[in-house]
Structure 1
Amino acid sequence: MSDTLFAGGGGFWGFSKKFRATVVNDIWPEVFFFTLVATMVALVSHLTSTSLAISNQMLTVLGTVLGLVISFRTSTAYERFMEGRKLWTNIAIASRNLAQVIWIHVPFERVDKKTGQPMSHLKIIIEKKTMVNLIQAFAVSVKHLLRGEGGVYYADLYPLISCLPRFTSPKHTSEEDMMPLWKASEMDHTMHQTIRSQSFRGDTLSSVLERAQSDPALLKEKNIGSELSDSEVGWLNSMRGRSGKKFDPERALAIIPSEHPLRPARNPPKASLYDYLPFLRILRPVWRPITRRLGRHDDPDGQRRTFTGRKIRPQLADSNVPIEITLFLTTYFSMLLKAGQLQPASATTMVNAISALQDTVTNLERIKNTPLPFAYQAHLRVSLWLYLFFLPFQIFDAFKFLTIPATAFASFLLLGFLEIGQEIENPFNYDLNDLDLDHFCLAVQRELHEITAHTTPDLDEFVFTEWNQPFAPADRRTAKDMMADANHDYHGPETGVHSIRKTLLKSWREVDEATRR
């Protein structure tokens, strides 16, 4: 699970996670360097006859300009952060609207065109629920797309879309006839694979998919019957909902065997000692040969940070999964229109929701793929470096040895704001300051399941019952009692509407008096 879900924990671990959310790991080499410069200026000026102090006339002017520019840099990054949050809100809204139209407005009474017989409610509910699952899959696929994780072979995505056709037709099952969704996912899985399956050795992908399409149990049998590595056993346990983790939202998904071991739904970088003691990174070249001799070849820190500790940002994945999902949703919409199953208002809502999903993922890609121009970033950073480099020379006459902590503080302050702006301008990764995309997807999942739990009951089942007091507080009788009291003024042809309006007016007066201080 994303570390952001546990960032508020108490004690040492809570503090450690909050420390990792800071930008100390990214700016400490620069702060250390400018502090050394300040130390050199102070020592040379104090211990020798040579004074390195210079005039501070430019200090105020340049400091003000740099402050304004850094403030602008941080503000633009925060706008991108908030725009990303708003776009994810749009995904949630469009997903709810689309699911509600499919679940409630698409009729349950339908005639099978082939047989002329009424279709069973079970068949229609399965059809609707499958489409709602694709809506959930859209949000999950966008999450993986923004995190640079291409393809469909993830524990939280594959079970939702495994039913989609893999080939152009059941009669054509060669790799040349493979649908773009699965062909691209296979290529991506080969490029980014972290878990190698020992199953299906000697089988081509097309033969595996061809047999799995007609008999998914084949995948399960071959996986269970083969000799599995420790990572594959962990994968199978997680697929069976027995991973042993306290928080395992994938247990709520279907258990569908896959032709590839599924990668984790959430794969944040593991914390290392360097995250808490960043200055130890300077010793990595010495420690790495020792750890390799001890048989430890893993370096969780080396794939996500540079030698000095600066974060390596993942690139946007070349994935077409969200597009493919919207194509299937649009195809379903077209089928409903041809069959005359949607009223004009419902059809408009449905097509607008699908369009909103497509627009949103395009705008999210725009945020991900459009960083601040390099020339602006480079010029700002070089200008700040020059300012901090000459800062101790300008303030030594006034601060003496306090020049050292003053320069360190100024470096930490200005470089920190600059680095924060660079970090939050792309808020879709696993950093503790990034948007919690996993939480957003799980919220969409819960809401969609709540929609499909709605049974669209008849009004008589809940409106005219003893559990409803529609005219309270003026009339606290239940709807069932009012309907049964045929002698009341409410039922009179001349007194009915007038009496009801008097009751509602009395309710307004009582509510107005009770709710005002």
Structure 2
Amino acid sequence: MSNRVDNPKVYNPYSYHRPHFIRWRGSVIPKVLPSTIVVTLLAVIVCIVNLETKVKIGIPSTFIPVLGFVVGLLLTYRTNTAYDRYWEGRRLWAVMVVAIRNLTRNIWINIKEDDGKSDLLEKKTAINLLIGFAVATKHYLREEDGLLHDDLKPLISNIKSNLPGFKPFNEMDPSSEVNHNLPLEITLYLCSYIDNKRQNNKVDVPTTNSMYGALNTLIDCLTQFERILRSPIPLAYSIHLTQTVWIYCLSLPFQLVDSLKYITIPIVFLASFILIGILHIGGEIENPFGYDENDLDLDDFCG
């Protein structure tokens, strides 16, 4: 029998102690349950009125397959679009990590250390700045401005730059209300460092081109992250989809009560739970950079 202990940093869908069927944390149940209860209460009222009084409020069930087909298409598109954004965010982070690792290797191995400790210190500073790029990107995507984050400040402190018009990070006013695109600014410092080493003949041209290529990849990833963050699903589509799902769920009791009697109540509960749940899942993973249970674990990625 294996005594292997699961590594929390390695994704394993079977490592949970409880089956997914009964899990509450990480599910959309807290968001779905209130809406589901409202629809179910309507089903209870419809059943009582239709079956216990002389008032008949049932309608033909021909509406179910027509609207159900439309709702299915809309929900499928919504969920697929949201998951594409989620997966694109994860893929871009992996591309960014590859670029950081390649750039780190080139800086550490291929840049000469003619000045001894001075060059070595600059190398370590540049590598810290690369790590700082990932951490700064995490905070930038979470719209957390400032330079005083505990995991960021040690990586970008005491940075000097030869770029005109740019202050070292430690000279910036942390209380300033100006929102800096800190990851982009870090790439400017790195570009200045690489250019300085090339001018001093401490790195050859092919390696310089390789480092610039990795730097361009970092900027490209940052831009793609911004596209995901700032280009949500069109509001009109989200509103119309939500309205369509609610119309379908609210009309179900009236269409089922004549044929299913009181069984309408659990059927409506299950149907609304599934449909409204899928609707909320799309909204849950649309922006994968936050702190929700289903968002990408950026803290772990930067660890």
Normalising by structure 2, report the TM-score.
0.89
User: What is the 5 A alignment of 1:15-34?
Assistant: 18-34=23-39
Whole-angstrom CA distance in 1 between matches of 2:298 and 2:139: 9
Choose from 357, 363, 372 the match for 2:224. 363
Whether 2:273 is the aligned partner of 1:412: answer: yes
Choose from 77, 83, 94 the match for 2:82. 77
Q: Does the 8 Å contact 2:158/2:169 carry over to 1?
A: no
- Paired amino acid for 2:254: F
- Paired amino acid for 1:52: I
Q: Does the 8 Å contact 2:102/2:214 carry over to 1?
A: yes
Choose from 131, 139, 144 the match for 2:126. 131
Whole-angstrom CA distance in 2 between matches of 1:123 and 1:180: 20
Whether 2:147 is the aligned partner of 1:152: answer: yes
Whether 2:43 is the aligned partner of 1:48: answer: no
- Paired amino acid for 1:25: P
Q: Quick one: structure 1 residues 182 and 61, their matched pair in 2 at CA, closer, same or farther if it must change by over 3 Å?
A: farther
Give the SS at the match of 2:289: coil
Q: Quick one: structure 1 residues 25 and 127, their matched pair in 2 at CA, closer, same or farther if it must change by over 3 Å?
A: same
Higher RCO (CA < 8 A, seq sep 6+) = 2
Q: Does the 8 Å contact 2:142/2:290 carry over to 1?
A: yes
Choose from 64, 67, 75 the match for 2:72. 67
Whole-angstrom CA distance in 2 between matches of 1:150 and 1:106: 33
Q: Does the 8 Å contact 2:289/2:298 carry over to 1?
A: yes
Q: Does the 8 Å contact 1:145/1:319 carry over to 2?
A: no
- Paired amino acid for 2:260: F
Whether 2:297 is the aligned partner of 1:436: answer: yes
The equivalent residue for 1:162 is 157
Task: Quote the offset at 1:410 in angstroms.
Answer: 0.5
Whether 2:128 is the aligned partner of 1:140: answer: no
Q: How many residues align?
A: 292
Whole-angstrom CA distance in 2 between matches of 1:100 and 1:403: 64
User: What is the 5 A alignment of 1:174-185?
Assistant: 183=172, 185=174
Whole-angstrom CA distance in 2 between matches of 1:71 and 1:182: 50
The equivalent residue for 2:257 is 396
Q: Does the 8 Å contact 1:137/1:157 carry over to 2?
A: yes
More displaced stretch, 18-27 vs 150-159: 18-27
Whole-angstrom CA distance in 2 between matches of 1:184 and 1:401: 67
Q: Does the 8 Å contact 2:85/2:287 carry over to 1?
A: yes
Q: Quick one: structure 1 residues 86 and 154, their matched pair in 2 at CA, closer, same or farther if it must change by over 3 Å?
A: same
Q: Quick one: structure 1 residues 338 and 423, their matched pair in 2 at CA, closer, same or farther if it must change by over 3 Å?
A: same
The equivalent residue for 1:91 is 96
User: What is the 5 A alignment of 1:332-347?
Assistant: 332-347=193-208
Whole-angstrom CA distance in 1 between matches of 2:17 and 2:278: 26
Choose from 175, 181, 188 the match for 1:186. 175
Normalising by structure 1, report the TM-score.
0.53
The equivalent residue for 2:43 is 38
Q: Does the 8 Å contact 2:157/2:170 carry over to 1?
A: no
Whole-angstrom CA distance in 1 between matches of 2:147 and 2:271: 47
- Paired amino acid for 1:145: Y
- Paired amino acid for 2:121: I
User: What is the 5 A alignment of 1:229-240?
Assistant: none
Answer with 1 or 2: which has the greater Rg: 1
The equivalent residue for 1:101 is 106
Whole-angstrom CA distance in 2 between matches of 1:397 and 1:181: 73
Identity %: 39
Q: Quick one: structure 1 residues 435 and 184, their matched pair in 2 at CA, closer, same or farther if it must change by over 3 Å?
A: farther
Q: Does the 8 Å contact 1:131/1:329 carry over to 2?
A: yes
Whole-angstrom CA distance in 1 between matches of 2:64 and 2:173: 56
- Paired amino acid for 1:70: L
Give the SS at the match of 1:186: coil
- Paired amino acid for 1:350: M
User: Structure 1 stretches of 5 or more lacking a match?
Assistant: 111-118, 170-176, 190-317, 443-517
Q: Quick one: structure 1 residues 179 and 98, their matched pair in 2 at CA, closer, same or farther if it must change by over 3 Å?
A: closer
User: What is the 5 A alignment of 1:467-478?
Assistant: none
Q: Does the 8 Å contact 1:184/1:319 carry over to 2?
A: no
Task: Quote the offset at 1:156 in angstroms.
Answer: 0.7
The equivalent residue for 1:382 is 243
Deviations 1:259-290 (A, max 9, x none): xxxxxxxxxxxxxxxxxxxxxxxxxxxxxxxx
- Paired amino acid for 2:67: L
Whole-angstrom CA distance in 2 between matches of 1:383 and 1:67: 10
Task: Quote the offset at 1:350 in angstroms.
Answer: 0.2
More helix by share: 2
Task: Quote the offset at 1:83 in angstroms.
Answer: 0.3
Task: Quote the offset at 1:165 in angstroms.
Answer: 4.7
Whole-angstrom CA distance in 2 between matches of 1:407 and 1:182: 62
CA-atom RMSD, angstroms? 2.7
Q: Quick one: structure 1 residues 25 and 184, their matched pair in 2 at CA, closer, same or farther if it must change by over 3 Å?
A: farther
Q: Quick one: structure 1 residues 441 and 58, their matched pair in 2 at CA, closer, same or farther if it must change by over 3 Å?
A: same
Give the SS at the match of 1:410: helix
Task: Quote the offset at 1:182 in angstroms.
Answer: 5.6
Whole-angstrom CA distance in 1 between matches of 2:85 and 2:173: 30
Whole-angstrom CA distance in 2 between matches of 1:354 and 1:67: 43
Q: Quick one: structure 1 residues 95 and 180, their matched pair in 2 at CA, closer, same or farther if it must change by over 3 Å?
A: closer
Q: Quick one: structure 1 residues 130 and 390, their matched pair in 2 at CA, closer, same or farther if it must change by over 3 Å?
A: same
